[in-house]
Amino acid sequence: MAAVGENPSLWEQDKRQLHPLHHPSQSDNPTIVERADGVWLYTTDGRKILDAMAGLWNVNVGYGRSELAQAAQAQMEKLAYTSNFAGMTNLPSSELAYKLSAYAYPSLKTTFFTSGGSESNDTAFKTARYFWKRQGQADKVKIISRRDSYHGITLATTSATSIPRYHKMFGPLMPNFVYTHAPNPSRYAGTIQENEAVGAAAARDLEETILREGPQTVAALIAEPVQGVGGVIVPPDDYFPQVRAICDRYDVLLIADEVICGFGRTGEMFALNRYGVEPDILSFAKGVTSGYLPLGGIQISDRILEAMNSASVEDAWLHGYTYSGHATACAVGLRNLAILEKEKLAEQSARMGARLRAGLAGLSEFSAVGDVRGLGLLCAVELVKDRETKEPDAALALTVQNAAAARGVRIRALEGSLAFSPPLIISEDEVDQIVETIGAVLDSIE
Ligand SMILES: Cc1ncc(COP(=O)(O)O)c(C=O)c1O
């Protein structure tokens, strides 16, 4: 293939597509990735880039897995797609639903498939409302989410997302979405009482939010176990057990948004297991196919299933997407799970994550490094203007992101933090290359 410089029409062609999170100033001559293998991306202009973001936190088994291509080909040759609406099904979606039954959490046995995380969370919100209507509590419609959360990009999931820049040009947001404080250990934004720890303060804020809104109006809390896009916020260990107890006290469903965290990313197959907590609804996507094909879904507890099964036909759970239970996507999902299990990639994520964090912690000699945190291969380095005030340095984070890209390492600046979320198959040497590159970039800047 001709190099891009000799064939500018490639960029001209690309100008006809609107990119996600688009601004025209960023779309001039984008990097064109032609192929990828393991953790490495290869561009049309001959560069090799270590993808320390695994695409968008999702290519868990790494790039270039021929087993997944073969699974897709074999399924497409038999049956690429069929409607999965009531009255018809296909083998891979049944098999994957069966495989996933009680896979993440013992009490979640039933799956509904979507094509991605936003659809999963939208589905979760509708399902929570449906459940309460079926209990005769039709006023329970509000969805509580935490500040700095990201739950997707449809209008409802944008409304649950609590990062202001995603709201600014799309308001008004949907009514009945309410926010509580994030359990952010390094910069908790709510009030902390004397001798109160951050986990307890954030749990108390949730309880106060429910009471202020009226428990009889609250359907669910949605929470990412580790908040990803909001800056890789790892909650204190005592937070989720308290959240679970509060949700139970006020009849509020707990929706775990494990779109990033699921399938090994945090060093556990599913992240709430670390805290001994089970949600009522699980949202998943990304890692279920490692991004090889679009797939997501929700899993529900038996009491939610029972509410659906015992409804009259008029009150049926009338929800579904054209691509729910897509045969080829599910076949790839099944094969992807087999790889995750066979290669013990959740354990690998825990091991390599510890190595990455230890390496990044070694960069604390640079005065701009304010915090290093993470779980498994979901990590962040927070850059600050001043360690005392902890004021985040978003401009510096962007500079480091771009300088790292110029040196062949792809990371993502999220406000003042640098996020790291490489494929779970990353080797020790590759982890060390990430750390060395960030160190060299910080050194050149300081
Ligand atoms: C926690 C979380 N939930 C939901 C989504 C939305 O997923 P999708 O982009 O597949 O719609 C994302 C996307 O990054 C996410 O990080």
Mutate which of 150, 159, 166 for ligand 1? The one with the most ligand atoms within 8 Å of its CB, which is: 150
CB 299 within 8 A of CB 284: yes
Q: Are residues 45 and 115 in the same domain?
A: no
Q: Does ligand 1 have an atom closer than 6 angstroms to the CB of 260?
A: yes
Q: Return the ∠ at Cα 57 (arms to 51 and 60), rounded to 5°.
A: 80
Bridge-based pairing state of the strands 253-257 and 218-223? parallel
pLDDT band at 200 (very low <50, low <70, confident <90, very high): very high
Q: Are residues 247 and 352 in the same domain?
A: no
Q: Is residue 435 part of a domain?
A: yes
Q: Is residue 253 part of a domain?
A: yes
CB 14 within 8 A of CB 4: no
H or E element: which one contains 9? helix 9-14
What is the rounded average pLDDT of the residues 40-48?
A: 96
Question: How far apart are alpha carbons 283 and 227 in whole angstroms?
Answer: 14
Q: Does ligand 1 have an atom closer than 6 angstroms to the CB of 228?
A: yes
User: CATH no. for residue 142?
Assistant: 3.40.640.10
* Residue 4, pLDDT above cutoff 90: no
The radius of gyration computed from the CA coordinates of the chain, to the nearest angstrom, equals 22
Name residue, tokens 């110029």.
Answer: 406
pLDDT digits (tens, 9 = 90+) for 225-250: 999 999 999 999 999 999 999 999 99
What is the rounded average pLDDT of the residues 148-162?
A: 98
**Cα 22 to ligand 1 centroid, rounded to whole Å:** 17
pLDDT digits (tens, 9 = 90+) for 102-148: 999 999 999 999 999 999 999 999 999 999 999 999 999 999 999 99
pLDDT band at 11 (very low <50, low <70, confident <90, very high): confident
Q: Are residues 395 and 304 in the same domain?
A: no
Q: Is residue 10 part of a domain?
A: no
Q: Return the ∠ at Cα 156 (arms to 152 and 157), rounded to 5°.
A: 15
Res 395: pLDDT: 97
The pTM of this model reads 0.97
Name residue, tokens 């005030």.
Answer: 389
Res 5: pLDDT: 53
pLDDT band at 23 (very low <50, low <70, confident <90, very high): confident
Average pLDDT, the chain: 96
**Cα 218 to ligand 1 centroid, rounded to whole Å:** 23
Q: How many residues comprise the chain?
A: 446
Q: Is residue 9 part of a domain?
A: no
Res 209: pLDDT: 98
**Cα 365 to ligand 1 centroid, rounded to whole Å:** 34
Q: Which of 320, 342, 364 is the last residue of a domain?
A: 342
* Residue 7, pLDDT above cutoff 60: no
* Residue 327, pLDDT above cutoff 50: yes
pLDDT-wise least confident of 8-12, 225-229, 430-434: 8-12
User: CATH no. for residue 352?
Assistant: 3.90.1150.10
What is the rounded average pLDDT of the residues 57-73?
A: 98
Q: Is residue 26 part of a domain?
A: no
Q: Are residues 279 and 356 in the same domain?
A: no
* Residue 27, pLDDT above cutoff 80: no
Question: How far apart are alpha carbons 433 and 30 in whole angstroms?
Answer: 24
Q: Are residues 367 and 336 in the same domain?
A: no
Q: Is residue 135 part of a domain?
A: yes
Res 3: pLDDT: 53
pLDDT band at 6 (very low <50, low <70, confident <90, very high): low
* Residue 30, pLDDT above cutoff 90: no
Strand partners, 410: 51
Res 1: pLDDT: 46
Q: 376: closest CA among 346, 399, 406?
A: 346
Q: Does ligand 1 have an atom closer than 6 angstroms to the CB of 285?
A: yes
DSSP code, position 171:
P
DSSP code, position 235:
P
Amino acid found at 76: M
Alpha carbon 420 to chain centroid, angstroms: 13
Q: Is residue 16 part of a domain?
A: no
Res 2: pLDDT: 45
Half-sphere exposure of 371 (CA within 13 A, CB side): 23
Q: 364: closest CA among 351, 377, 383?
A: 383
The token pair at 406 is: 């110029």
Which residues touch 322 (CB under 8 Å, ≥6 apart)?
A: 83
Q: Are residues 374 and 255 in the same domain?
A: no
pLDDT band at 86 (very low <50, low <70, confident <90, very high): confident
**Cα 151 to ligand 1 centroid, rounded to whole Å:** 6
Q: Indicate the angle between helix axes 302-309 and 117-134, nearest 10 degrees.
A: 70
Bridge-based pairing state of the strands 417-420 and 378-383? antiparallel
Concatenate the DSSP letters of all residues of 277-316 into one string: ---SEEEE-GGGTTTSS--EEEEEEHHHHHHHHTS-GGG-
Q: What is the percent of the chain with per-residue pLDDT over 90, rounded to a whole number? A: 93
Q: Are residues 292 and 410 in the same domain?
A: no
Q: Does ligand 1 have an atom closer than 6 angstroms to the CB of 158?
A: no
Mutate which of 60, 151, 288 for ligand 1? The one with the most ligand atoms within 8 Å of its CB, which is: 151
Q: Which of 313, 342, 371 is the last residue of a domain?
A: 342
Q: Are residues 166 and 258 in the same domain?
A: yes
Q: To 10 degrees, the CA torsion angle through 325, 328, 333, 339?
A: 160
Res 421: pLDDT: 98
Mutate which of 115, 118, 162, 414 for ligand 1? The one with the most ligand atoms within 8 Å of its CB, which is: 118
Res 393: pLDDT: 97
Concatenate the DSSP letters of all residues of 137-156 into one string: -TT--EEEEETT----SSHH
Res 443: pLDDT: 97
Q: Are residues 276 and 419 in the same domain?
A: no
Q: Indicate the angle between helix axes 239-249 and 198-213, nearest 10 degrees.
A: 20
Question: How far apart are alpha carbons 370 and 303 in whole angstroms?
Answer: 45
Res 28: pLDDT: 72
Q: Are residues 336 and 381 in the same domain?
A: no
Q: Are residues 317 and 352 in the same domain?
A: no
- Sign of the torsion formed by the C-alpha atoms of 162, 205, 141 and 225: positive
Q: Closest ligand 1 atom, CA of 116?
A: 10
Question: How far apart are alpha carbons 443 and 446 in whole angstroms?
Answer: 5
Question: How far apart are alpha carbons 225 and 237 in whole angstroms?
Answer: 11
Q: Are residues 355 and 317 in the same domain?
A: no
Q: Is residue 15 part of a domain?
A: no
CB neighbours (10 Å) of residue 305?
15
Find the domain containing 348 and state its range.
31-61+344-445
Q: Does ligand 1 have an atom closer than 6 angstroms to the CB of 118?
A: yes
Res 8: pLDDT: 57
**How many domains does the structure of the chain reveal?**
2
What is the rounded average pLDDT of the residues 86-91?
A: 94
Q: Which of 327, 342, 357 is the last residue of a domain?
A: 342
